Chain A
Amino acid sequence: MSRRIGRGIVFLTLLSVVLLSSVIWLFAGLSERQNTIRSGVREDISWAAYQADREAARLIEAIQTAQIDHDVGDVSMRFDLLFSRTHLLTQGSYTEIFPASSLVGQKAAAANRAINSMVATMDGLAADPASFPAEAAEILGMAQAARQATGDLLVATNSAFNEIRVEERNETLFIYWRIGLSVAALTIALVLIVALLGVQLYHLSRSGREVELLSRRNERIAKKAKSASAAKSAFLATMSHEIRTPLNGIIGMTELLRGSRLERDQMHQVETIRLSGDMLLDVINDILDYSKLEAGAVRFEPIRVSLRETMVPIERMMSVRAETAGLKLVFDYPDVSVFVDANRIRQVLVNLIGNAIKFTPAGSVVVTGTVRGDRLKLEVRDTGPGISEADRQKLFREFSQIDSSNTRSFGGTGLGLAICRRLVNVMDGKIGVESAVGLGSTFWFDLPAGPVETIDENHIELETLPPVQLGGTVLVVDDNPINRDVAVGLLAKLGLDAVATCNGQEALEMLAASRFDLVLMDMQMPQMDGLEATRQLRARGFALPVVGLTANAFESDREACLDAGMDDHSAKPLTTVKLTDILQKHLSPEAVQLAPLSENEVDKDHQESLREALGEDEFDRLVEDFIQSCEHMLAQAQLALSKGDADGLDQVLHTLKGAALTLGFVSLADAAQAERSKTLHTVRLEDIRHHCQVAA
Chain B
Amino acid sequence: MLRLASSLALILIATAPSWAGELAKPAAEPILKVQGAITTMNDGETAAFDLSMLDALPQHTIKATTPWYDGEHEFSGVVIGDLLETLGASGESVTVTALNDYSAEIPMEDIKDYPVILATRVDGEELSVRDKGPLFVIYPFDEHPDLYNEVIFSRSVWQVASLTVH
Using a CB–CB cutoff of 8 Å, the interface residues on chain A facing chain B are 38-39, 41-43, 51, 54-55, 58, 77, 80-81, 83-84, 87-88, 91-93
Check B66 against A81 for contact (C-beta < 8 Å). Answer: no
B148 at the interface (CB under 8 A from A): yes
Check B99 against A81 for contact (C-beta < 8 Å). Answer: yes
Check A41 against B70 for contact (C-beta < 8 Å). Answer: no
> CB within 8 A of B68: which of A77, A81, A88?
A88
Check A80 against B100 for contact (C-beta < 8 Å). Answer: no
Check A41 against B159 for contact (C-beta < 8 Å). Answer: no
Check B67 against A92 for contact (C-beta < 8 Å). Answer: yes
Closest beta carbon of chain A to B18's beta carbon, Å: 31
Closest beta carbon of chain A to B128's beta carbon, Å: 7
B129 at the interface (CB under 8 A from A): yes
Report how far A546 CA is from B18 CA in the complex, Å. Answer: 137
Check B153 against A84 for contact (C-beta < 8 Å). Answer: no
Check A92 against B66 for contact (C-beta < 8 Å). Answer: yes
B150 at the interface (CB under 8 A from A): yes
Q: Considering the complex, give the chain B residue whose CB is closest to the CB of A54.
A: B100
Report how far A488 CA is from B126 CA in the complex, Å. Answer: 147
- Chain A residues closer than 8 Å to B66, beta-carbon distance: 92
Other than the given A41-B67, A43-B67, 18 more pairs (CB < 8 A) read A41-B148, A41-B153, A42-B67, A42-B153, A43-B68, A51-B100, A80-B130, A81-B99, A81-B129, A84-B130, A84-B131, A84-B159, A87-B131, A88-B68, A91-B68, A91-B69, A92-B69, A92-B70
Report how far A31 CA is from B67 CA in the complex, Å. Answer: 21
Closest beta carbon of chain B to A126's beta carbon, Å: 11
B166 at the interface (CB under 8 A from A): no
> CB within 8 A of A81: which of B67, B70, B100, B150?
B100
B63 at the interface (CB under 8 A from A): no
Known: A80-B128, A80-B129, A84-B131. A93 touches B149 (CB 8 A): no
Report how far A88 CA is from B68 CA in the complex, Å. Answer: 6
- Chain A residues closer than 8 Å to B67, beta-carbon distance: 41-43, 92-93
- Chain B residues closer than 8 Å to A58, beta-carbon distance: 100
Q: Considering the complex, give the chain A residue whose CB is closest to the CB of B150.
A: A41
Report how far A43 CA is from B159 CA in the complex, Å. Answer: 15
Q: How many pairs of residues, A versus B, come closer than 8 Å at their CB atoms? A: 45
Known: A43-B67, A55-B100, A92-B70. A83 touches B150 (CB 8 A): no
Interface residues of B in 135-158 (CB under 8 A from A): 148-150, 153, 158
Known: A38-B149, A41-B149, A51-B100. A84 touches B69 (CB 8 A): no
Report how far A300 CA is from B100 CA in the complex, Å. Answer: 115
Closest beta carbon of chain A to B67's beta carbon, Å: 5
A-B contact pairs, 28 of them (CB 8 A): A38-B149, A39-B148, A41-B148, A41-B150, A41-B153, A42-B67, A43-B67, A43-B68, A43-B153, A54-B100, A55-B100, A58-B100, A77-B99, A80-B128, A80-B130, A81-B99, A81-B159, A84-B131, A84-B159, A88-B68, A91-B68, A91-B69, A91-B70, A92-B66, A92-B67, A92-B69, A92-B70, A93-B67
- Chain A residues closer than 8 Å to B153, beta-carbon distance: 41-43
Report how far A41 CA is from B131 CA in the complex, Å. Answer: 21
Contact code string B67-87 (vs A, CB < 8 Å = 1, else 0): 111100000000000000000
Closest beta carbon of chain B to A491's beta carbon, Å: 120
Q: Considering the complex, give the chain A residue whose CB is closest to the CB of B98.
A: A81
- Chain B residues closer than 8 Å to A51, beta-carbon distance: 100, 102
B132 at the interface (CB under 8 A from A): yes
- Chain A residues closer than 8 Å to B99, beta-carbon distance: 77, 81
Report how far A87 CA is from B99 CA in the complex, Å. Answer: 17
Closest beta carbon of chain B to A31's beta carbon, Å: 16
Q: Considering the complex, give the chain A residue whose CB is closest to the CB of B154.
A: A43
| A42, A84, A92 pick with most chain B CB within 10 angstroms | A84
Report how far A80 CA is from B127 CA in the complex, Å. Answer: 12
Report how far A93 CA is from B67 CA in the complex, Å. Answer: 5
Closest beta carbon of chain B to A369's beta carbon, Å: 97
- Chain A residues closer than 8 Å to B102, beta-carbon distance: 51
Closest beta carbon of chain B to A419's beta carbon, Å: 95
Closest beta carbon of chain B to A80's beta carbon, Å: 4
Report how far A612 CA is from B103 CA in the complex, Å. Answer: 178
- Chain B residues closer than 8 Å to A55, beta-carbon distance: 100
Report how far A91 CA is from B68 CA in the complex, Å. Answer: 7
Report how far A39 CA is from B149 CA in the complex, Å. Answer: 8
Interface residues of B in 77-134 (CB under 8 A from A): 99-100, 102, 128-132
Report how far A84 CA is from B129 CA in the complex, Å. Answer: 7
- Chain A residues closer than 8 Å to B132, beta-carbon distance: 84
- Chain B residues closer than 8 Å to A41, beta-carbon distance: 67, 148-150, 153
Report how far A55 CA is from B99 CA in the complex, Å. Answer: 11
Check A83 against B68 for contact (C-beta < 8 Å). Answer: no
Known: A41-B149, A93-B67. A83 touches B100 (CB 8 A): no
- Chain B residues closer than 8 Å to A43, beta-carbon distance: 67-68, 153
Report how far A84 CA is from B69 CA in the complex, Å. Answer: 12
Report how far A186 CA is from B9 CA in the complex, Å. Answer: 86
Report how far A38 CA is from B148 CA in the complex, Å. Answer: 8
Closest 6 CB pairs of A and B: A80-B129, A83-B130, A93-B67, A42-B67, A80-B130, A92-B68
Closest beta carbon of chain B to A368's beta carbon, Å: 100
Q: Considering the complex, give the chain A residue whose CB is closest to the CB of B152.
A: A41
Report how far A412 CA is from B148 CA in the complex, Å. Answer: 110
Closest beta carbon of chain A to B159's beta carbon, Å: 7
Q: Considering the complex, give the chain A residue whose CB is closest to the CB of B69.
A: A92
Report how far A42 CA is from B70 CA in the complex, Å. Answer: 12
Closest beta carbon of chain B to A58's beta carbon, Å: 8
- Chain B residues closer than 8 Å to A38, beta-carbon distance: 148-149
Closest beta carbon of chain A to B96's beta carbon, Å: 15
- Chain A residues closer than 8 Å to B128, beta-carbon distance: 80
Report how far A91 CA is from B150 CA in the complex, Å. Answer: 18
Report how far A43 CA is from B155 CA in the complex, Å. Answer: 11
Q: Considering the complex, give the chain B residue whose CB is closest to the CB of A76.
A: B129
- Chain B residues closer than 8 Å to A42, beta-carbon distance: 67, 153
- Chain A residues closer than 8 Å to B129, beta-carbon distance: 77, 80-81, 84
- Chain B residues closer than 8 Å to A92, beta-carbon distance: 66-70
Report how far A77 CA is from B159 CA in the complex, Å. Answer: 11
Closest beta carbon of chain A to B157's beta carbon, Å: 11
Report how far A44 CA is from B102 CA in the complex, Å. Answer: 15
- Chain A residues closer than 8 Å to B70, beta-carbon distance: 91-92
Report how far A88 CA is from B159 CA in the complex, Å. Answer: 13
Q: Considering the complex, give the chain A residue whose CB is closest to the CB of B99.
A: A81
Report how far A58 CA is from B129 CA in the complex, Å. Answer: 16
Report how far A88 CA is from B158 CA in the complex, Å. Answer: 12
Report how far A525 CA is from B104 CA in the complex, Å. Answer: 125
Closest beta carbon of chain B to A630's beta carbon, Å: 139
Closest beta carbon of chain A to B91's beta carbon, Å: 27
Report how far A163 CA is from B150 CA in the complex, Å. Answer: 22
| A42, A58, A81 pick with most chain B CB within 10 angstroms | A81
Report how far A83 CA is from B69 CA in the complex, Å. Answer: 15
Report how far A83 CA is from B7 CA in the complex, Å. Answer: 53
| A39, A41, A42, A91 pick with most chain B CB within 10 angstroms | A41
Closest beta carbon of chain B to A288's beta carbon, Å: 99
Q: Considering the complex, give the chain B residue whose CB is closest to the CB of A37.
A: B150
- Chain B residues closer than 8 Å to A54, beta-carbon distance: 100
Closest beta carbon of chain A to B106's beta carbon, Å: 17
- Chain A residues closer than 8 Å to B149, beta-carbon distance: 38, 41
- Chain B residues closer than 8 Å to A77, beta-carbon distance: 99, 129
Report how far A77 CA is from B29 CA in the complex, Å. Answer: 14
Contact code string B26-64 (vs A, CB < 8 Å = 1, else 0): 000000000000000000000000000000000000000
